[in-house]
Structure 1
Amino acid sequence: MERSEFKQKVIDYARSIGIDEIGFTHAEPFLEFKEKLIDYHKRGYASGFEKGSVGERTEPRRSLGSAKSIISIAVGYPNRLPDAPKSRKGERRGLFARASWGMDYHTLLNNRLEKLEEYIKSLDPDVKTRSMVDTGVLSDREVARRSGLGYIGKNGFMINPKLGTYSYLGEMITSYPFPPDEELIDSCGDCNLCVDRCPTGALTGTGQLDSQKCISFLTQTKGFLPEEYRGKIGNRLYGCDTCQQVCPRNKGINTDHHEDIVLEPEILKPELTGLLEISNRDFKETYGHLAGVWRGKKPIQRNAIIALAHFKEKESVEVLKRVAENDQRPVIKGTAYWAIGRIMGNDALEYINERFQIETDGQVKEEMLNGIQEAV
């Protein structure tokens, strides 16, 4: 079979199993990206979630010694939530970022990649493959860019003409020499909306991101959230979509044809106080299928508490008091005290002073003081 015929069969099959976009590139090192990655680490922009060394991230043959090509796939996801519940006084709600809507995208993409691998090997049993989704060492976005699926925008996302930035990305390294596709030559031009609108100034305007300032990263950390960013998070429980929402290339795009991406409004925009005392079992049963809970319950609960402070939700104070007094985790306990101070102001002074004599954890006591400092 000719290589071009083999490639077309793979493309046709990919579309039949729910892969929206597919591209091919060679397996040579990503030399330009390597220089950017080195600079990225030197500037202290890394999140710490990245996998592998610079060499592993830029040299595909370290992952598959016989690699000759890489297949990049993209699956679009929805960015509109039909029948979303309203956030009202007494029933304030948080929000999961769009990339976490529906089935965990790792599962969704791996299912498609496994089928694609099986199909390729049915055509040629000797082909060696290795697939990756997000947690692999290669950069999904850089592989997609070199495979012709799109270009890297100033917001750091791969921008595809049909899917915009709202797509899940994965790749498969193969030992088969598929003919490579041409890279897409495009740019954001003079548009700087994402950089200007980023709540924390995390975007550099060069396609790089300072993860240490990025709300999406901050919502996934497990410790106390730096106070300078608490007011920026709003009601976000996981992730941040601002730089995608303002992108003109996303105008009119909403990929909602995938049957395995099921939207659950009550889960994706949950009532905040209901998250604060939920058991581990109930949390896992209700939210465990979302990509946004990969770090566990604690970051979500901490963010929910910050969101209640953002809303100045007085109706939540009694729940917050129970959490502050009974939860044994310093991050949750301390953040709850902080929120009580921010919500009640001067009215919290007597309660905080009384509890200050009881609490023993230094960080918790610091949060108690931080919460009422504007009221003093």
Structure 2
Amino acid sequence: MDPVALDAADPLAHFRDRFVAADIVAYLDGNSLGRPLRVTRDNLVRFVDDVWGERLIRAWDEGWMETPTTLGDTIGRVTLGAAPGQTVVGDSTTVMLYKLVRAALDARPGRTELVLDTANFPTDRYVLEGIAAERGATLRWIDADPASGVTAEQVAEVIGPRTAVVLLSHVAYRSGYLADVPAITNAVHHAGALVVWDLCHSVGVVPLRLDEWNVDFAVGCTYKYLNGGPGAPAFAYVATALHDTARQPIQGWMGAADPFAMGPAYQPAAGIRQFVSGTPPVVGMLPMRDMLDLVDEAGIDAIRAKSTALTSFVFDFFDEHLERLGVRVSTPREAEWRGGHVTLDHPAFRELVPQLQKRGVIPDFRPPDGMRIGLSPLSTSFTELAAGLRIVAETLT
């Protein structure tokens, strides 16, 4: 477990130089906010000077209008395993979740149950609570173990003829548990329901095959492993088979068949474009383009291999140094069942995380006593990870 030797053998090591350097010891929160790329700084200046500054409003007709779908297609190709015409960018993750769950619920008339799990991210739970109250639907809860995640067997136990929509996370935000998307999706379809997958903690770090897995809907943020920057817009995936029946609930002019007709009544655009509502967040889409280029260059399978090696390193360090200090692990040891982060638990972590940040080690805290070690493969070295974990151990002793 020599981090220097691991870095020397890392085929992706050269990508680290593409990121803006920070004066810290270890950045262990890449699963919450990815580092910016050096090229992004230059591209943002070029955008202000040459595109926005020179072309002004003409730039809408020269490409901006199509950015939600053109960038969506890039996300689909590079990270989702999705054919063109099924992915669109715009809005926040919360708004995208609302749109997709409402569309899925309305696409299953006569069915009144929404299925979700107790350990899912608050936004997912809150959005479904609001939709249930709004539409008179019933919530069916899966009582998932926070130290693991939702299984196909648990889903099969709660779904039935009244189930309209199942909303789950591919990678659990706290434990890092990697759900079996094909098996769960198949079980949901067998019950005649639709599934919405939250990909926030898997897109860009875990290979996805949405078309192959017959996924109905998916949503994901772009500021984690896609390095889109704080508040970068989310994306939505809607399978082609649902384009003629699914209707999103936030009818805005940019999702209309002819936005500039300024017509008296709303007529949705054909295909994935109908899931756009307001004016595209063009500036917010710029940084993720650069990261998508990097992911495409490195290859998602190679990124997954590096991610698995990094998280395995955390387990090795835990076994050797942290377990004897009373630390526990909430993340599956089996690589095939974990995403790109590892959660360590200790009663002192709530107080220690701010101390670690002062020492230049930046993880994040998740209640009740979890410290997430979030590892972005293209920007994180084994040496950096080892240095951060050593300071964690020192702080506990």
Q: Shorter-chain TM-score category?
A: under 0.3
Structure number, greater radius of gyration: 1
Higher RCO, Cα 8 Å, sep 6+ = 2
